[in-house]
Structure 1
Amino acid sequence: MTALLISLFVVGWVAVALIGSQAYFRGEQTKPIHERNWRSDSFDQLAKSVTGQATDAGDRVPAYSGDAFTSSAL
């Protein structure tokens, strides 16, 4: 009985981790992206391996165009 409960807990935890990872990467693939991360090959490769879908750059828009990172006045 205890082994059954432990195995159900482990299977449930793995399922939640996989679903959460896919939800995270699918959400990140469509969010506005900071200019310094626009061409992140490592993110694109990892996201494709987790979700099975390539990142569509047409869905992404630059964000934070006037922040301190891009400002030369600071």
Structure 2
Amino acid sequence: MKWLLRIFLVVWALALALLAIGTFGWFGQPRDPLSGVFLLPLGLPWNILADRLGWGGLPPALLAPAVNAGLLALLAGYRSRR
């Protein structure tokens, strides 16, 4: 389980890096409004819930994967205790 958490955290970091590169046009890349699209599947279902509650926008999209990472960490801790 811990390797799954590590892979998830690396993918989340890569998605955040792609968001920053596409948003600010770093490394000569053109600015792209869809550069944050890779964060959406990582934060499901929490970003949909936040949108329905009226909390849509960038902060919930950035933090929704943290909920999934926290759940993975809890599961990894539970499995290691058993």
Shorter chain as normaliser: what TM range? 0.3 to 0.5
Structure that is richer in strand per residue = 1
TM-score normalised by the chain length of structure 2: 0.36
TM-score normalised by the chain length of structure 1: 0.39
Structure that is richer in helix per residue = 2
Please identify the structure whose Cα radius of gyration is greater.
1
